[in-house]
A and B are shown apart, each in its own frame.
Chain A
Amino acid sequence: MWLPSWPIQRLRRSGAVSPASPAATVATAGGARRLQALCPQAAAAGLWPGQTLAEARALCPALAICPADPEADGAALGRLAHWCERFTPLAAADPPEGLWLDITGCAELFGGEAGLAGTLAALLSRDGLSCQVAVAGTAGAAWALARAGKTAGTNLPSGQEAEALAALPVALLRLDARSVSGLRALGVRRIGELARLERAALTARFGAGPRLRLDQALGNAAEAIAWPHPPAPWAERLAFAEPIGTEADLSRVLALLAKRLGERLAAARLGGVAFTATFFRVDDARPTLGIGAALPLAEPERIAALLRLRLEGLDPGFGVEAVLLEATATAPLAQPQLGLPGIVPSDPALPERALAAVVDELANRLGTARLWRPAPRASHVPERAVRHLPPLAPSPPWSGAAGERPLRLLARPEPIEATAPLPDQPPLQFRWRGGLHRVRAASGPERIAAEWWQPSAAAAGRPEADLLRDYYRVEDSEGNRFWVFRAGLDPATARWFLHGLFP
């Protein structure tokens, strides 16, 4: 599908450019501002892409201009491709001005290929988008016909690519400008003429490009298109005659889909690590539920139970027409070895599976980042000493040689008013969170220097983080034990902070 001068169409739709006046986008290239995309009115006024802006202004004073924004154009094209997934699951953007739709097997639902193309063009033109649609057996032929066709809805039966393309210019084979001008210098202007050239000579003169594009257009070479949503082979779909909406119904449907999918997965000795349930609502919204599993999962009951946890937050709207359950990521399923009582001990992985079930339930309730195993990091700075490992990682080794550390570490050290008799002595008393603590005993100091090779925390409003810290373990008259430090060496500017609590 071709959307001629897509950047202008996008700007017109967003209201940035009025539909009446001729419009163009402008980019700075080679020190001059030049036109990039033109609307048909501007082209009719004699403007051409690559013209300098000054020249274009002289030719057409009414020209409305906008700065070129290829990123926004590409994003809008991606959104349009997503919208086109109503016709086929395989829809992809083809920047700068086109879309690919693989309608193999989908056309029957829309009254044949011509009906689908007509519906698509009609829906887009209703929204003010002009487009040219061509249907062909190969991607290259469809591309060329969409851009060559004067009317929307060219439909080419498979096997007739060579005749249909023979009269079209070679530029429609998606060749680069150098090849096109080189071919024109040889007198080759039509695709039919290109096809008659000797293969070896063509490749020697222009590289593999032109011949490959020709083969792709004629169906002699394969072409891969990067679909944004490749179909998952592990999917189960259930559609209903009447829309359903109650939680009990949806939960039953999920259980049924999980049973079908789980049985297929188990038969293939695979387990899903990520599942997505998509609910097709009658008002075209498509809420999804996603769950993850720590170990590959194929048991229908557990898939359904994890999905049911999320079902509470789902808004069924006016009803759900169809539900699709996909295993978006799979991994080989480890078969547990059951023990024979008294002869063979049970597989040691069995308790691990029970743990994985607990971890899955918690992670899907709270979020994956909320579960972690603490592991030591080689750093003396207390707030950097612990890193997070995933919950099913093997137990990290802790040596415990890093000196005595508090059991509770405050997220950021809290400033305290401390009275210290000498610069290198622990405080005699201090005030923290409104309470006065008289120090009865203290040990230290333990001097910890900032890690200068780490990004500075001073920028985040914590000047004490970059200073040399002298830590003291102090006990007050009640028996409370605290971890306090003095930041900085200069007695005039040194400040005291409380960083942690000992039991």
Chain B
Amino acid sequence: MFIPAILPGRRPLPEALLHLLQATRPGFAPHGTLRFGDPRVAACLPEGGLTRGGLHAIGAPATDAGSGTAAAGFAACLLAGFSSPQPVFWITPWPDLHAAGLPGWGFDPGRLLFVHTDDDTATLAAMEIVLRGGAAAAALGEVGALPELPARRLQLACRRHGVTGFVLQRPSRWHVPPRQEAAAVATRWEVAPAPSAAEHREPGPARWRVRLQLARGGHEGAWIMEAAAQDAAFPLRVVAELADPAAAPERRRLAG
């Protein structure tokens, strides 16, 4: 089937065609994408970037000593790419986000609207309100676990209103992750800290071991990424591609 290339700035597509495209092309992105600026990452993602108007889950390995701080930094770098005047909602039951630490990752805390919830359920419900309201550039919710049903609801709300949602899954020493992670997301990432290029015993720019575990319409990948300099065009820089043995046998599998 021939599908026309969707370029930003064109006339909006008719509703029926949108539905057809969504049904037939899993990675279809009517609201555009967020670029990483590296061909190695673009090759793994549908349309060459992170789908705007989609739900993205970012997790951390259960053994992470920093309780998912690396994943939060990765999310902050992604949020920095949303250059719209609308606010970004950060919804979390943990009140330990330090706004003064955000400018270092290219994200202006003046655009941040902080929502303090009680638990996972309240966080996911608040996220859905924000996504449905359509008044935010993006919404990020911090949860312990993302069950399948809320993930599906959030993904639908994202797609319908063109707002990008991020779910930050925070590892806990007491929480055993479910065997089956929610599959209704556009992408799922796992971010772990990696030793930086320390020179003269001074820590260098932060480095993370980033694994793309699932991408609708794309395929898996793993890289070592580094936070780029403040004035760089893209907030993240790929240092090396990892030959991830776990991902290698089913390398070209489409996770639709």
Contact = CB atoms under 8 A, between A and B. Distances in A.
A405 B73 CA distance: 12
A437 B133 contact: no
B96 A411 contact: yes
Interface in B64-84: 64-67, 69-74, 76
Given A365-B126, A407-B72, A410-B96, A501 B67 contact: yes
B112 interface: yes
Interface stretch (B6-14, B144-152, B190-198): B190-198
B252 interface: no
B62 interface: no
B113 interface: yes
Interface string B31-57: 000000000000000000000000000
Nearest to A348: B85
A197 interface: no
A462 interface: no
Given A370-B116, A443-B202, A407 B195 contact: no
Given A370-B117, A386-B99, A405-B101, A503 B135 contact: no
A218 to B, nearest CB: 60
Contact of B74 (A375, A402, A503): A503
A478 B101 contact: no
Contact of B76 (A371, A474, A479, A503): A503
A20 B76 CA distance: 76
Interface stretch (A30-38, A109-117, A176-184, A392-400): A392-400
A442 B200 CA distance: 9
A500 to B, nearest CB: 6
A329 interface: no
Interface string B170-211: 000000000000000000000011111010011110111000
A359 B206 CA distance: 34
Nearest to A351: B135
Interface in A352-370: 354-355, 357-359, 361-362, 365-366, 370
Contact of A374 (B99, B125, B129): B99
B242 interface: no
A358 B65 CA distance: 35
Contacts of B192: 479
A391 interface: yes
A243 interface: no
Contact of A441 (B101, B135, B202): B202
B103 A400 contact: yes
Contacts of A374: 99, 109, 112, 114
Contacts of A482: 66
A376 interface: yes
Interface string A397-427: 1101010111111110000000000000000
Given A407-B105, A409-B96, A475-B203, A358 B135 contact: yes
A385 interface: yes
A159 interface: no
Given A355-B86, A365-B126, A374-B99, A475 B198 contact: yes
Interface residues of B, number: 58
B14 to A, nearest CB: 18
A362 B126 contact: yes
Given A362-B130, A366-B126, A385 B100 contact: yes
B66 A480 contact: yes
A371 B114 contact: yes
A385 B99 CA distance: 9
Contacts of A410: 96
A473 interface: yes
B102 A358 contact: no
23 contacts: A355-B133, A358-B130, A362-B115, A366-B116, A372-B113, A374-B109, A374-B114, A376-B100, A386-B99, A398-B108, A405-B100, A407-B97, A408-B69, A408-B72, A408-B98, A409-B96, A441-B198, A478-B193, A479-B193, A481-B69, A502-B69, A503-B71, A503-B227
Given A355-B87, A405-B104, A441-B201, 15 more contacts: A361-B129, A372-B113, A373-B113, A386-B98, A396-B110, A398-B109, A405-B98, A407-B69, A407-B105, A411-B96, A476-B65, A479-B196, A480-B65, A502-B101, A503-B73
Interface of A: 351, 354-355, 357-359, 361-362, 365-366, 370-376, 382, 385-386, 391, 395-398, 400, 402, 404-411, 435, 437, 440-443, 473-482, 500-503
